[in-house]
Structure formats: C-alpha cells, structure tokens
Amino acid sequence: MLKTPIGRLRAVALLEGVSFVVLLFIAMPLKYLAGMPLAVKLVGWAHGLLFVLFILALAEAAVTHRWSLLRVVGAFIASLLPFGTFVLDARLRREEQAAVEPATS
C-alpha cells in the first residue's frame, strides 16, 4: 500500500480521518464535559501532524497522476469533513481496482 503515491495518500488519509474522529468525538467531549484538556492537546497535536502529512501525500499524488485542480480541491475538502477521508479512501480504492481489472483481463 505504501509503495505508490495513491497508496501513501490512502494510508495517511485513513490515519488522519481516524485522528479527526477521535479529536471531535472523544477528546473534545473529554475536554468540555470531563475537564480533561490534555486529551485535546495530545490528539490535536497528532491530528495536526497527520493533516500536514495528508497535504504532502495529496500533493505527491496530484503531481504524479496529473490530477485536475478540482480533484485536488475535492480531496482537500474531504480532509476537512468528519468521515470525509473515509469516503475519499473508498473512491481511490475503487479507482485502483478498476485500473487493475482491465489490465488482468
């Protein structure tokens, strides 16, 4: 999975998506409902790092595969929405499978 730009983007997108969901639905409630701000600090830091890695992986995939600006913006917007990177991953996986199937037939 990590051998191709799309594979690296998918891997980082999944990790970034998980960190975003954990930040929103676990760390934030812990901060505001249980008075535990450290949860947001730690998860937020990890999510920020993964977001930067996502942007780098997106740039690599976009340049390597000559993606349109619209496609790049769509992938970027997916990273800003809860569960958006999971939808992006599913779409990229389907595209990879469709590209491999005609080649093996």
pLDDT tens sequence across 91-104? 999 988 887 777 66
**Count of structural domains, the chain:** 1
Q: Which domain holds residue 80?
A: 5-104
Region 52-79 average pLDDT: 97
H-run or E-run covering 46: helix 37-65
Region 22-47 average pLDDT: 96
Q: Is the pLDDT of residue 3 over 90?
A: no
Q: Using CB atoms within 10 A of its CB, is residue 25 exposed (0-12), middle (13-18) or buried (19+)?
A: exposed
Instruction: Give the phi and the psi of residue 4 in degrees, each rounded to 5.
Output: -120, 160
Is residue 91 within 8 A of residue 13, CB to CB? The reply is no
